[in-house]
Structure 1
Amino acid sequence: EVRANPSTALIDRCIDLSRKFGTQAFIAIGGGSVIDTAKIAAIMLGYPEASCEQLMQYQFFPEQSAPVVAINLTHGTGSETNHFGVAGIDEKNYKPAIGFEEMYPLYSIDDPNLMASLPLNQTRYVTLDALTHAIEAATAKGAGPFSKTLSIKSADLIFRYFPRILRDLNDREARYYLAFASMLAGISFDNGGLHLGHALEHPISAMKPGVPHGLGLAVLLPEVLDTIYPAAQEILDEILQPIRRTEAGIKTKAGIKEVIKQWLAEVGLATTMGDLGFEQEDVATLTDLVYTTPGIQYMLDSTPVAVSPETVARIFRNSLS
């Protein structure tokens, strides 16, 4: 029953079923949505008087969790490596992110052979998620040498092997290095944190749960990079170096927004918020959700530039087309 962008109602049903069968540990076999569901349910198992919605709104702070074994089937979310979890509160259009030390999986398995059946579009979306993790973790206010080093390597591998996997979904070497890149990015943002792109994407896939998280990030990425570039020019130039050079090895003079737009088109992710069904009238609602959804403010605070409601609304407006 676990869908992409899982809801608190679904996790509550998972918890009820777990209690019925006397569950003492969870084995999560799937991508980030499945692993997040297990991580959150593992906490809730020990708090029968509370609801998942309360946890996702930081209305209580857990001190225990059942063990989780994460068998990861995608190369994108990094959930198998970190202490974060996401679940939507559908009736409020909230998609909060929570983070507690108790949420680390006890064991995690990343086997690229288990990812070989990922279809084309899902391959695109999860890889873009991993790239965004690398970019944000390296440019967040909490970024340090460790997270920056991991992010640079992760992005380099993605730029190298992403085109290969799109040409041949059975390329096991490409799957291996994309899985490795995703793992590095997951560890990186577990240390450095995330910021503007994820803060703005969560309301998008909260309002429209059918929108894959990675696709939502893709439509925002050009405007997000353009916004943060003045404060993170050096590290962004280093991360994006592989796609800022022509085939002749000459550094392009195009701006960062144009460079990333061209690359997104090359990998089949030239999509806008308008393509996802959003209109100008939705900008105010989306902007409000950025500031009212629990757990998003910390991402805004981690952004390397000052972010105001006007900044958020501008990014949404410019991403419509």
Structure 2
Amino acid sequence: MIEVARPGLQTTVQDAGRFGHRALGVGQAGAADAGALRLANLLVGNPPGCAALEITLLGPTLRFTRGALAALAGADPGALLNGRRVKPGQPFDIKAGSTLQLPRCRHGARCYLAFAGGLEVTEVLGSASTDLGAGFGHALQRGDRLRLRTPRPPRLGRVRWWAEPPEDRQRMGLPAEVLRILPDADAALPADLTALEWQVDGRSSRKALRLQGPALAIESAAERVSAPVAPGDVQILPDGEPLLLGVEAQTVGGYPLLGRVIRADRDRLGQLRPGDSVRFLLVDRAAADAAWRSLQAGWFRLETALAARRAGAG
């Protein structure tokens, strides 16, 4: 049993997401940084999309009435287990009676806390993901209790290993604030688009990131007839500022569409904080597909290495 002593700013249960229901107006939800969720789960031997805790900016304080094997991934929350520092990217044992504090996310907006076996959570439409806008689940509150799905596996003993999610951007040397965009076929793009810079607005959420900065003057500045939209879409608000749709985005929208953040960069949306700078880099379909293949190859290498380490530890 896990008891919530302090809930943090917005701590929710998230898994890989809720798919196949967009025709009913039900969005995706799921982890805002799916790669960080995947890594946290892999570190404790879970399937990649297993339900875990998503911690946003200010984290919770959790008390454990039973032992667990856990891992953190994503932004570093400055975690303290019974007062001792715990870093992301490495599995760690939690003994019964322990207290885990996750004060504040650093160098990113979200951290993921996974437990071996996952969390025992009721699924809605095939997913345990919290979707605050749709009313599926809720942000953790003081006094909430969470159950672990299965007993933890044998501890890893003195074996110590560490991992971070792969990223093809490192190979390309792209700056952290650059998002690669696949332009919409019907969008009239400003000539200076890639030279412009915006800052993430404090009103941003899992539904969308609002960007403050230069107003974009495009021919389709007026609202269009509503059409399907999805996470990663870049819309232009009536004031000319971009809106980056997140995992809790609506399923249809009427604002003009600039393009879509490529799949290989989409997890970065979940780690952008208020005040962070954002610039766009336009790419074509071939470059977007190549980036995705590169990223998946990196995941394959990492999963193979983790499986070998786990076999050696056992």
With the length of structure 2 as denominator, give the TM-score of the two structures.
0.25
What is the TM-score of this pair, normalised by structure 1? 0.25
Higher helix share: 1
Structure showing the higher strand proportion among its residues: 2
Structure number with greater Rg is 2
